[in-house]
Structure 1
Amino acid sequence: MFLSTYEKQLDGKRRLLIPQEFRTSENGAEHGVFCFFSVESDCLEAGGDKLMAEYVALIESLPFGDDWRTALEETVYAGQKPLAYDSGGRITLPEGLIEDAGLTDDVVIVGMGPRFQIWDRARWMSRKEERRQLARRAMRERGEFGRRRLPGNDQ
């Protein structure tokens, strides 16, 4: 799994050091990663073979010709770049992906279980507190939902 958050810098050649903990065979990212503009946020999404398998299963579960399927195919398949590590464990981000995500020299790599995201540091910092509040609300509401479903609880 991709866990933790790392602050990094893109060098002049658009190279980014991927944490060693992320470069493992367990998550399918020992030789490189798939990287594309995120479906859900203004950042890049990346991961290994396991992440790609999840997207393939999701896309193939939709009927051929379905507009949602086509949108996912265009974003994930057409938009992704397979990026191999250099001898130092770095990937080189294509200029188009950097522009799409609005990345500057200061970036944050955010582990999210089966995937990780690459954010512009300023954008990540401005969203962090809002996301924490949303997570708190989700836990509270999920907890309330779970308590309402307990046997004998008529709320």
Structure 2
Amino acid sequence: MFMGEYQHSIDSKGRMIVPAKFRDILGESFVITRGLDQCIFGYPMEEWRKLEEKLKDLPMTKKDARAFARFFFSGATEVEIDKQGRINIPTTLVQFANLEKDCVIVGVSSKIEIWAKEAWNKYFDESAESFNEIAENLIGFDF
């Protein structure tokens, strides 16, 4: 399981260090793709395969299903962790998530998310204000 929030930077070549606590779970290579809320999602290979199977079951006769599958899979790429603990994020994903220098890597259960620091701070501040309300609206969920 992934959890926690880590601050790292991305260099001009798209290289970013993966937090050491995440490397063991992710393995030598894993999949990154466009995520929701303008961040990048990262999945260990086993989780990626599970997700791929679920997405195969989407009804491709539905316009939204086709659009989501295209968006999600067209951005997907397998990345390898180098000896320095870095991955190389493709330019298309760097641009999608507006990654410039300061980034935040967040553990979210079965995946990681890579955010531009400014975007994460804005999202966090907006979500923190309504956290109690969001929790109340989650049916059947108790802490």
TM-score, structure 2 normalization: 0.87
In the alignment, the residues of structure 2 paired with residue 79 and residue 140 of structure 1 have an alpha-carbon distance, to the nearest angstrom, of: 34
Unpaired segments ≥5 residues, structure 1: 147-155
- For the 8 Å contact 1:50–1:114, the answer to whether it is kept is no
1:129 to 121, 125, 136: 125
1:27-106 paired onto structure 2 within 5 Å: 27=25, 29-38=26-35, 40-106=36-102
Quote the RMSD (CA, aligned, Å).
1.8
Q: Deviation digits for residues 41-67 of structure 1, max 9, x if unmatched?
A: 111111112331332132122224432
- For the 8 Å contact 2:29–2:45, the answer to whether it is kept is no
Higher RCO (CA < 8 A, seq sep 6+): 2
Unpaired segments ≥5 residues, structure 2: none
- For the 8 Å contact 1:59–1:72, the answer to whether it is kept is no
Percent identity over the alignment is 23
Aligned to 2:107: 111
Query: Aligned pairs, how many?
Result: 140
Aligned to 2:9: 9
In the alignment, the residues of structure 2 paired with residue 3 and residue 50 of structure 1 have an alpha-carbon distance, to the nearest angstrom, of: 18
Which amino acid counterpart does residue 32 of structure 1 have in structure 2? S
Which amino acid counterpart does residue 30 of structure 2 have in structure 1? V
Aligned to 1:23: 23
Q: Which has the larger radius of gyration?
A: 1
Q: Which runs of 4+ in 1 moved over 6 A?
A: none
Which amino acid counterpart does residue 11 of structure 2 have in structure 1? D
Which amino acid counterpart does residue 37 of structure 2 have in structure 1? S
Cα drift, residue 117 of structure 1: 0.8
Cα drift, residue 87 of structure 1: 0.8
Larger proportion of strand: 2
Decide whether aligned partners of structure 1 residues 66 and 14 sit closer, same or farther in structure 2, where only a CA change above 3 A counts.
Answer: same
